[in-house]
Structure 1
Amino acid sequence: MSETTVGYLNGLLSKYTPSSTSFDKARTHRSGIETRLDAWLGVREMFETGSLKHGTGVWFYSDVDYVVSLKGTRPTPTMSLNNVRDALKDKYPNTTVRVSRPAVVCEFASGDETVEVVPAYIDSVNGGYWIPDPKDSSAWMKSHPKDHNSYVNDANTKHSGAAKKLARLAKTWKYKRNVPISSCYLEMRAAKFAKGVGTWVLPMDLASFFKHLQDIDLAAMNDPTGLGSRFTPCSSESNRQDALSKLDTAVTRSQKAYSAYLDDKHADAISQWKLVFNQ
């Protein structure tokens, strides 16, 4: 029996879904990182966040992400990042440790066990955390990572996990087509989109999601929890234009794929999806 469109997309989801143990080696570095940062800078708490924690990670591409809430007076974002970088460089002299806003990236095992650490300062009055703004080296931005995780989980209860499936496929497109767009932006857009649709048909809604992103011109997104700063799609306008160009191509191909799917031409639909995901 020939492969169906839904079967192909579900197979792609399965292929790029990390196993429960895929990133265990990367997670073994947590204790050493936390101990060193506590000794040098003082740590209130350190917790995992990001794609893997949210259940939207992409096998081979996603990293283990931590937020480290630091004690003391909040310095400039650049100073905070440099302080974390220097502490971890001293701890791991044979590991590449670099700043990639808003995080410090530790490339353990030549990058096979990559860990990203985001320095943060708690807002004890209004809640949430101040983290370095990815777009402005002199600015902090408000983030509520625990609430964002809850929002994605809540959206995912609708349509049997549609939100996380949509987010993972959108991120797979990002990585496979080298699209300079924020994974967090895609995840929150996907969660909001999935939460708003009345029915769920994977080929239809995936194509509709790409079209939705095109229609809104990759606009910045208000925090759907109403708590934090806006989610920006890209780190610069030039990257946004590059992302829009690649999105236009994805929309054209996904619309062709959906039309073929409606005509029961699954081989044609799959060939278009393969172009979307560079398979």
Structure 2
Amino acid sequence: MSNFARGHQLKNPRKKSSRVLRVGSRSELGEAFIRGQISKAVPRNIPNFGSQYKWRRKLFSRIRNIDAVGGLTLIGSWSHGTAIADYSDWDFIVKLGGACPASSGEAMEKLFRTLQLDSERFALVDLDMPAICIRDPFDGSTIDLVPAYDGSGGDYLIPSLSDASWMLSNPMAHLAFLSSVHKENWWVRKYIMLLKRWKYANTIPISSLYLEMVVAQFCLSRQSDSVLADMIEILRVLCVTQLSDLVDPTSASPRCISALNSDLVEKSDIISKITKSIELLWLIQAADKSGSAADIARYSSELYPPGGEHIYNAKLPAYLTVYKKRRVTPRYSG
């Protein structure tokens, strides 16, 4: 039995489950490889203490001390428990006080200029709609600050992706929805991480929120005893729907979540990549049945090519790299 196949038994520690794969023969290697991608996606290096943690504490403290800032809240993958090792950035809502300006660009530029005054402390401050990006000098990760104003019913007004207007978003509702699905099906976060790792490995620019909601709704509707088969079905959903806008399951009023964060990306190119991945998964399934370890290894390396689009691409000196293995994710709010 190969090293990557040994011990990949994913189960709920709190209760018995029939969805436990015990790898003991070649006919199970393909399934084991797909499940192994989940463990590779789990972040192991959490900035929770040492110089990096102190740097971040000072950063968030100075942001909170800005006159217009009324609070700072962690959102996105790190708050959902679906962050991917070496890829997921840190997303924060920066709650602003006062009247909401007509143009979101005005609020963005004002906050950006304020942060630029401290550019020596805030390494590589950059403006990338709808967020202000700060590069962590310790590991090259990105901290994205999204300016927001209070809306109604727990909604936030955040900058639109397409123009200088505002759009409604409710990150807390998305987290609550994901948590409710997790109670019904504890595999949902594992599936999300599996699909996200595939997305980053193949440089597929699908919105993480879109992917999370698609996977969550899939887990509510159906699920087989095979992670490999479920991954095929999720990718088929993306193809059948042609990456059309998804009705936000957390919103009482009609609101859609876009699959793409940019109009410059051609959906046909992405769907072509998804179709290719489905074909590779079918080939892995066939190789699983025939027991061909060589074919499984070849198709698996094409499905999850090494490297991929690595977002932590800053060249940093070795003495600035702080890696502490700790599983507790810090929550910054205020």
TM-score > 0.5, shorter chain as reference: yes
The structure carrying a bigger helix percent of its residues is 1
CA deviation string 1:108-136 (max 9, x = no partner): 2176242111111111x3331111112x2
CA contact (8 A) 2:30 2:287 kept: no
Q: How big is the shift at 1:31?
A: 4.0
Secondary structure in 2 aligned to 1:257? helix
Identity over aligned pairs, percent: 25
* Distance in 1 of aligned mates of 2:53 and 2:225: 35
Q: How big is the shift at 1:82?
A: 1.5
* Distance in 2 of aligned mates of 1:183 and 1:225: 16
Q: Tell whether 2:34 aligns with 1:6.
A: no
Code of the residue aligned with 1:121 in structure 2: it is Y
The higher-RCO structure (CA 8 Å, 6+ apart) is 2
Relative to structure 1, the CA distance from residue 198 to residue 104 in structure 2 (aligned partners, 3 Å threshold; closer, same or farther) is same
Relative to structure 1, the CA distance from residue 78 to residue 57 in structure 2 (aligned partners, 3 Å threshold; closer, same or farther) is same
Q: Tell whether 2:196 aligns with 1:156.
A: no
Q: How big is the shift at 1:78?
A: 1.0
* Distance in 2 of aligned mates of 1:138 and 1:65: 20
Q: How big is the shift at 1:175?
A: 1.1
Structure 2 unpaired stretches of 5+: 6-28, 307-334
**2:149 paired residue number:** 121
**1:32 paired residue number:** 58
**1:273 paired residue number:** 300
Q: Tell whether 2:118 aligns with 1:91.
A: yes
Structure 2 residue corresponding to 1:17, chosen from 42, 48, 51: 42
CA deviation string 1:210-233 (max 9, x = no partner): 111111101111111124741111
CA contact (8 A) 1:180 1:242 kept: no
* Distance in 1 of aligned mates of 2:278 and 2:215: 15
Structure 2 residue corresponding to 1:166, chosen from 191, 194, 197: 191
Secondary structure in 2 aligned to 1:67? strand
* Distance in 1 of aligned mates of 2:147 and 2:53: 17
Relative to structure 1, the CA distance from residue 70 to residue 262 in structure 2 (aligned partners, 3 Å threshold; closer, same or farther) is farther
TM-score by length of 1: 0.88
Relative to structure 1, the CA distance from residue 245 to residue 142 in structure 2 (aligned partners, 3 Å threshold; closer, same or farther) is same
**2:92 paired residue number:** 66
Secondary structure in 2 aligned to 1:96? coil
Relative to structure 1, the CA distance from residue 71 to residue 31 in structure 2 (aligned partners, 3 Å threshold; closer, same or farther) is farther
**2:231 paired residue number:** 206
Code of the residue aligned with 2:245 in structure 1: it is A
Q: 162-171 or 85-94, which moves further after superposition?
A: 85-94
* Distance in 2 of aligned mates of 1:238 and 1:256: 32
Q: 225-234 or 29-38, which moves further after superposition?
A: 29-38
CA contact (8 A) 2:191 2:215 kept: yes
Q: How big is the shift at 1:88?
A: 1.7
**1:188 paired residue number:** 213
**1:107 paired residue number:** 135
Q: How big is the shift at 1:13?
A: 1.2
Secondary structure in 2 aligned to 1:116? strand
For the pair shown, the structure with the greater C-alpha radius of gyration is 2
**1:50 paired residue number:** 76
Q: Tell whether 2:103 aligns with 1:79.
A: no
**1:139 paired residue number:** 165
Code of the residue aligned with 1:24 in structure 2: it is N
Q: How big is the shift at 1:164?
A: 1.1
**1:260 paired residue number:** 287
Structure 1 unpaired stretches of 5+: none
CA deviation string 1:184-229 (max 9, x = no partner): 1111111111121144421110111111111110111111112474
Q: How big is the shift at 1:272?
A: 2.1
How many residue pairs were aligned? 275
CA contact (8 A) 2:95 2:149 kept: yes
Code of the residue aligned with 2:99 in structure 1: it is T
* Distance in 2 of aligned mates of 1:270 and 1:208: 22
* Distance in 2 of aligned mates of 1:36 and 1:241: 44
Code of the residue aligned with 2:215 in structure 1: it is A
